[in-house]
Amino acid sequence: MAHRFPALTSEQKKELSEIAQRIVANGKGILAADESVGTMGNRLQRIKVENTEENRRQFREILFTVDNSINQSIGGVILFHETLYQKDSQGKLFRNILKEKGIVVGIKLDQGGAPLAGTNKETTIQGLDGLSERCAQYKKDGADFGKWRAVLRIDNQCPSNLAIQENANALARYASICQQNGLVPIVEPEVLPDGDHDMEHCQYVTEKVLAAVYKALNDHHVYLEGTLLKPNMVTAGHACTKKYMPEQVAMATVTALHRTVPAAVPGICFLSGGMSEEDATLNLNAINLCPLPKPWKLSFSYGRALQASALAAWGGKAANKKATQEAFMKRALANCQAAKGQYVHSGSSGAASTQSLFTACYSY
């Protein structure tokens, strides 16, 4: 083994580590507002709003101009490229509005999927070309973290070894390049919930995927203390007939994480996938009440699960701004409480009733 060649100086490590910790401090989580133009098209179509740059700008403006107290529950916002350079109606840059609230600005860095030939419709992710220069520019333009989403699916012969290795490797390259440019990489290896597999199978696959991801990060000399993980929760496939309680989802999820994610990682911010707003909050709460050791912060990085009600309340009309902001604020607060295991939703008697539903962890 050659002598090591340090990838980062102490100062670089300190900066990255502090950014990561700020994002997930005190139950804070992330608003994933980085929907691409195409994805925003899907969202807007549901509320019968035209997918124009102005409409996208207006919706994001409503979210970002909420009361400053949002900074108690939101530590970071992920932006899409276009949004990083947009301004509010007074001409103020969104990224400055967010920074002044003490929120860390992030940027989506991947450039979508590409097929892996010879597999059962599996993909890898593009975006490594010129990534270092793009990161340097984004850092100058106010971003302090990046996000890159790799996608794996459960199906016949999937995920294959190739898909796992290739996506883990691409994630590690992206993470390494980000850190060289002072950006904290959010590492997102999403195992899709599509399919009729049960929760146990999702747990098995998630463990294999995460083990590969952390081996790749180690091989690529990535500084774990300056990263965040954005995984799926461990759930059954959408088409699975068996139903599971939040406590079971929590136990399976935390078991998988504690078998694969080193304690050096400061925070794990779950994606919401196709979950409803309430399920995403209930599951996160159960995760934070899970009796297994949890050396990382367990928080959220939600897109739909933070914005669904807000979008519905907006309907494309400026007059609905207040209702939209209230809807968003409500979900943000709920998820912040869930990230501390303190969420009590109507109809539940709180932590005591949920505690008894945890099955002893050795069954997982």
Partner 1 sequence: MPHSYPALSAEQKKELSDIALRIVAPGKGILAADESVGSMAKRLSQIGVENTEENRRLYRQVLFSADDRVKKCIGGVIFFHETLYQKDDSGVPFVRTIQDKGIVVGIKVDKGVVPLAGTNGETTTQGLDGLSERCAQYKKDGADFAKWRCVLKISERTPSALAILENANVLARYASICQQNGIVPIVEPEILPDGDHDLKRCQYVTEKVLAAVYKALSDHHVYLEGTLLKPNMVTPGHACPIKYSPEEIAMATVTALRRTVPPAVPGVTFLSGGQSEEEASLNLNAINRCPLPRPWALTFSYGRALQASALNAWRGQQDNAGAATEEFIKRAEVNGLAAQGKYEGSGEDGGAAAQSLYIANHAY
Binding site for partner 1 (CB under 8 A): 1-4, 10, 13-14, 17, 154, 157-161, 164, 200-201, 204-205, 207-208, 211-212, 214-215, 218-219, 224-225, 255, 258-264, 293-295, 360-363
C-alpha distances (whole Å) from 285 to each of 244, 281, 282, 302, 334 are: 15, 6, 5, 14, 9
- 139: annotated active-site residue: no
Which residue in the block uniquely carries the two structure tokens 């807000």?
A: 310
Query: How far is it, in rounded angstroms, from Cα 287 to Cα 255?
Result: 10
Q: How far is the CB of 137 from partner 1 (least distance, A)?
A: 26
- In terms of CB distance, is 75 or 159 closer to partner 1? 159
Helix (H) or strand (E) holding 190: strand 184-191
Q: How far is the CB of 227 from partner 1 (least distance, A)?
A: 11
Q: How far is the CB of 258 from partner 1 (least distance, A)?
A: 4
Q: How far is the CB of 171 from partner 1 (least distance, A)?
A: 15
- In terms of CB distance, is 4 or 121 closer to partner 1? 4
- In terms of CB distance, is 164 or 282 closer to partner 1? 164
Could you tell me the two tokens for 47?
């509320």
Contacts of 179 (CB under 8 A, 6+ apart): 7, 8, 12, 16, 185, 222, 223, 226, 227
- In terms of CB distance, is 98 or 250 closer to partner 1? 250
Contacts of 83 (CB under 8 A, 6+ apart): 33, 34, 56, 57, 60, 94
- In terms of CB distance, is 220 or 230 closer to partner 1? 220
Among residues 61, 166, 188, 247, the one annotated as catalytic is: 188
DSSP string for 59-88 = HHHHHHTS-GGGGGTEEEEEE-HHHHT-B-
Contacts of 159 (CB under 8 A, 6+ apart): 122, 152, 153, 191, 205, 208, 209
Among residues 230, 247, 277, 297, the one annotated as catalytic is: 230
Cβ-contact 301, 353 below 8 angstroms: no
Q: What is the DSSP letter of 318?
A: G
- 230: annotated active-site residue: yes
Q: How far is the CB of 329 from partner 1 (least distance, A)?
A: 32
Which positions are catalytic? 188, 230
